């Protein structure tokens, strides 16, 4: 996630009020800045850092802010800043590891109108969109949807259909993806490299807003969706030359405790051959919820072996947010 700074997109790349069919100023103001502090001993501190900055989108009349969950995971303190300079603390209300969404409740009045939610499934490649970061027009970018497809993240994460846009916004974390009619289509998650033909270029990946409605009430009530937690192994895997390779291990996580090592190739999961990251993670989840046994067949320096891993609930490794 890129840190805020004194910068601006070239004027030609910024959205203009006369070019939009909605209240652009209100949409810009609905995006707030998040500054988050994480304890030094937090589980995610070594990976995501102890000082995080990004964006959030006001989606509720009570000021409820929707953001990307990695910004607020294990948050010790959260500060929200509006385009008008209002700064108030926030509380990390909920985080869903399945979608990646996080919710923050402001502990005061933001004085911001919420941004209406749209329908991401209706968006198509080629559609013009606006990517909004906190800071008004200067930090907002005219872009296009360039793809809708499955996305698998190395941290045991899969979206059936993510949204990809270009050009890239440098402050992607929690940024708002807004449709031509001024509605929220997605929340910024990653900077990615896309390829069209033999040309590679940077873009952004967004979590579709449609994934929020089925879980929103449960997140508000309990801090997470009411469903059995997914099996988590604590592996950071990547695809390389047709193989799934273990590129990292969560310290003290189930896979490390079971003897999995960096560089291991994952050949099978639960007796089925592994055809890629998404297939691996889905197979792991199909074997049962957190606490289920997950057998993996590995290849290490040319020799194959099997390990039996008792999966865990990832949330049990994380610090809980402080109550205010």
Residue 245's CATH number: 2.30.42.10
Q: Give 1's pLDDT tier (boundaries 50, 70, 90).
A: very low
Q: Are residue 122 and residue 157 in the same domain, yes or no?
A: yes
pLDDT value, residue 3: 45
- Is 139 within the bounds of a domain? yes
Q: Give 201's pLDDT tier (boundaries 50, 70, 90).
A: confident
Q: Are residue 220 and residue 239 in the same domain, yes or no?
A: no
- Portion of the chain with pLDDT greater than 70, in percent: 96
- Portion of the chain with pLDDT greater than 90, in percent: 90
Count of domains in the chain?
2
pLDDT value, residue 199: 77
- Is 322 within the bounds of a domain? no
- Is 137 within the bounds of a domain? yes
Q: In the predicted model, what is the mean pLDDT of residues 31-60?
A: 96
* Residue 123 predicted with pLDDT over 70: yes
Q: Are residue 69 and residue 122 in the same domain, yes or no?
A: yes
Q: Are residue 78 and residue 213 in the same domain, yes or no?
A: yes
Q: What is the mean pLDDT of the chain?
A: 94
Domain closes at, from 224, 258, 275: 224
What's the predicted TM-score (pTM) here? Answer: 0.94
* Residue 4 predicted with pLDDT over 60: no
Q: Are residue 253 and residue 157 in the same domain, yes or no?
A: no
* Residue 2 predicted with pLDDT over 50: no
Q: In the predicted model, what is the mean pLDDT of residues 83-108?
A: 97
Q: Are residue 125 and residue 1 in the same domain, yes or no?
A: yes
* Residue 324 predicted with pLDDT over 80: no
Domain closes at, from 190, 224, 258: 224
* Residue 281 predicted with pLDDT over 90: yes
Give dist(CA 296, CA 307) in Å, integer: 5
Domain holding 281, by residue range, is 235-317
pLDDT value, residue 198: 75
Q: Are residue 76 and residue 218 in the same domain, yes or no?
A: yes
pLDDT value, residue 196: 66
pLDDT value, residue 224: 86
* Residue 219 predicted with pLDDT over 90: yes
Q: In the predicted model, what is the mean pLDDT of residues 153-170?
A: 97
- Is 309 within the bounds of a domain? yes
């Amino acid at each position: 996630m890129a840190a805020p700074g004194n910068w601006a997109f070239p004027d030609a790349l910024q959205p203009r009020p006369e070019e939009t069919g909605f209240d652009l100023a209100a949409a810009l103001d609905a995006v707030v800045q998040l500054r988050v502090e994480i304890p030094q001993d937090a589980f995610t501190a070594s990976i995501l850092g102890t000082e995080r900055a990004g964006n959030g989108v006001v989606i509720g009349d009570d000021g409820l802010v929707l953001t990307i969950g990695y910004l607020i995971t294990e948050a010790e303190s959260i500060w929200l800043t509006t385009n008008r300079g209002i700064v108030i603390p926030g509380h990390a209300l909920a985080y869903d590891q399945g979608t990646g969404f996080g919710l923050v409740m402001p502990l005061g009045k933001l004085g911001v109108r919420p941004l209406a939610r749209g329908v991401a499934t209706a968006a198509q490649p080629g559609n013009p969109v606006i990517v909004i970061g906190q800071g008004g027009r200067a930090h907002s970018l005219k872009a296009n949807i360039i793809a809708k497809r499955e996305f698998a993240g190395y941290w045991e994460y899969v979206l059936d259909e993510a949204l990809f846009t270009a050009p890239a916004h440098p402050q992607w974390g929690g940024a708002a993806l807004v449709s031509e009619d001024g509605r929220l289509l997605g929340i910024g998650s990653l900077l990615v490299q896309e390829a069209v033909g033999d040309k590679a270029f940077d873009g952004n990946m967004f979590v579709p807003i449609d994934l929020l409605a089925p879980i929103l009430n449960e997140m508000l009530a309990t801090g997470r969706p009411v469903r059995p937690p997914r099996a988590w192994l604590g592996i950071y895997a990547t695809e390389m030359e047709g193989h799934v390779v273990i590129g990292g291990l969560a310290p003290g996580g189930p896979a490390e405790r079971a003897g999995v090592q960096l560089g291991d190739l994952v050949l099978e999961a639960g007796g089925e051959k592994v055809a890629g990251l998404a297939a691996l993670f889905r197979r792991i989840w199909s074997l049962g919820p957190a606490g289920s046994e997950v057998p993996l067949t590995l290849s290490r320096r040319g020799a194959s072996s099997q390990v039996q891993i008792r999966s865990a609930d990832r949330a049990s490794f994380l610090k809980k947010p402080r109550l205010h």
